Structures are given as C-alpha cells and as structure tokens.
Amino acid sequence: MESERHLTFDNTELVNETIAKRPQICSIFHTKVDREVIQEDFVRDVYATNRSDYTSVQRYEHYQTMCHFISLLPAQTFVSNERMVLQICALCFVDFSNELVKLIRKYYGEDTVDTISTLMACTRCNENYDNYQRIDTRVLLMRLLAHSHIIRPFHVHIYWVYKAYDTDNPYEAPTLTCVAKQMLTLANSEVKPLMHVLYTRFPSSHRSTTIFDNFSRNEIIWMTYYTAERVSMDLKLSESSKLSV
C-alpha cells in the first residue's frame, strides 16, 4: 500500500507481480485454500484484454487495495466465495467490459457474473446514502475502492489525481486551488463517511492505521494548499486594489 514502484511497471511486470502475491494473499486471508485466491490463468487473461500500462497499473492498485481491505476485517465477515468475488471485482473495476464478462463467465460461471454485475452497478450509481450505516459491506469496500488513491501516500495519490486530469483534459491545467477544493469535497462528501462506517462497523480495522493515517494526512495537505492559495490570491487582490487607488 505504501510503495510507488509499481507505477513504473509495464504490463508483463504487473501480471507477474499480481500472480506472485497469491501466496501472500493466502497468508493475509489466513487460509491455505487456493480457491479463495484468483486463478493465475484468469489474471493473465484479464491483463491481456487491455495492455495499456495505465490500465494495468490501475488493475494492480485496485487488486492490492481490495486485498488489504479484506485483511482488515474479521475472517468471518466473508465466506470464501465472497472474498473471491471482491478480488475479481477489483481486478476488473477499471474497465468492466463485455470481454471481461465473458472471461469471468468462462472461469467462474454465470452466478459470479450476476453477482459482480450487481456490485459494479451499486458502486457506480450516483445514489447518496441517507444512512451509510446500512450499506452492504461489499458495496462499502467497492465504493472505497473507487477512490482508493486518496488513502494512499500523498505522492501516489497526487500521481493519480493529475493523471486523471491529463487523461480527461490534456490541454487544460487546473489551478492548485481548484484541485484542492475538489479533493476536499470528495474527501468530506464520499470518502470520510465510508471510512467512518468501516471503522465503526469493524473497530479492529483500525489496528492497521495505514489507510486512516494516509487519508488524514492527505486531507491536511490539501487543506494547507487550499488555504495558502486563497491567502495568496487575497493578497494579490489587495495589492491590486491599492495600486488602482
């Protein structure tokens, strides 16, 4: 969760890194049962559907993050099939295409396709929960996964923030104030309520403070940038007003 070295990996390296994590994931889940971990051939086929390094890195981050989320919860929270479904969701989250649906059906069957399709729909809908405490735990993790960059170290988080801007609007450079305001809005309206549910529902999740500390630190950094930029703008306006008098 803390390393940024994967940001420089190509597709092949990311495939190998994902597969190499299988024994580690079994250890995290406190199991020796391979059926709780995604199959090697499935991993290779998923990465092969889109060989873009940008997409592949996102796949790896999402998979790594979801496994970390699952490790924070009591072992009895999910049965083995649910842990498998969440791993598949994470690996396919960046581009849940028809090609990926066919792959999931080939390896895991129609019931798994239906479950994953429902989870994806719940995650990507614009529904605002009046009471986050009632949210299904799987949807909770999926919605946190959608904004997982904000719970990583700031240098990784900001990489994805500006990568998204560069992808969506390559010819526009947003001001620091604008970026800071958007990140603070995201943190307070979506991520913080979800983090609160995770902690209150599973108090033991706080034993690993990595994601909570990263989130708090990133929020403070964005608030500092936003405040400093606004103060700078106010000073410039003040100076400009004095000159015009």
pTM here is 0.86
CB-based burial label for 211 (10 Å; 0-12, 13-18, 19+): buried
Give the CA distances from residue 19 to residues 26, 66, 91, 182, in Å, rounded to whole numbers and listed in that order.
12, 15, 12, 35
- The predicted structure's pLDDT at residue 29: 65
Cα of first residue to Cα of last residue in the chain, in angstroms, is 55
Do 15 and 40 belong to one domain?
Answer: yes
Distance from C-alpha of 225 to C-alpha of 219, rounded to nearest angstrom: 10
| One domain for residues 66 and 110 | yes
Host H or E run for residue 62: helix 53-72
Q: What is the pLDDT of residues 106-121, one digit of tens each?
A: 999 999 999 999 999 8
Q: pLDDT category, 126, cuts 50, 70, 90?
A: low
Residue located via tokens 């990595």: 210
Going by pLDDT thresholds of 50, 70 and 90, the confidence category of residue 122 is confident
Q: Are residue 103 and residue 3 in the same domain, yes or no?
A: yes
Last residue of a domain, one of 66, 99, 133: 133
**The pLDDT of residue 239:** 56
Residue 50: other Cβ atoms inside 10 A: 17
- Name residue, tokens 């059926």: 35
Does 126 fall in a domain?
yes
Same domain membership, residue 195 and residue 105: no
The whole-number pLDDT of residue 134 equals 81
Number of folded domains in the chain? 2
141 falls within a domain: no
Pick from 126, 169, 145, 21: nearest CA to 72: 145
Number of Cβ within 10 Å of residue 161's Cβ equals: 20
Question: Looking at 77, 105, 133, which one is the last position of a domain?
Answer: 133
Are 151 and 83 within one domain? Answer: no
Percent of the chain with pLDDT strictly greater than 70 = 83
Q: What pLDDT, on a 0 to 100 scale, did the predictor assign at position 216?
A: 93
Higher confidence at residue 64 or residue 240?
A: 64
Give the integer Cα–Cα distance in Å for 245 and 19. Answer: 68
Same domain, 36 and 125: yes
pLDDT, residue 1, reads 61
Residue-wise pLDDT tens digits, 29-38: 666 555 667 8
Q: How confident is the model over 163-200, as pLDDT tens digits?
A: 888 877 777 778 888 899 999 999 998 899 999 899 88
pLDDT at position 129 is 54
| Confidence class for position 146, pLDDT limits 50, 70, 90 | very high
Q: Are residues 114 and 226 in the same domain?
A: no
Specify if 221 maps to a domain: yes
Taking CB atoms within 8 Å and a gap of at least 24, the contacts of 101-105 are: 103/42, 103/45, 103/46, 103/49
Q: How confident is the model at residue 71 (pLDDT cuts 50, 70, 90)?
A: confident
Q: Is the pLDDT of residue 238 over 60?
A: no
Name 65's Cβ contacts closer than 8 Å, sequence gap at least 6. Answer: 1, 90, 145, 148, 151, 152
Domain check: are 103 and 37 in the same one? yes
Confidence tier at 63 by pLDDT (50, 70, 90): very high
Same domain as 185, residue 154: yes
Range of the domain at 3: 1-133
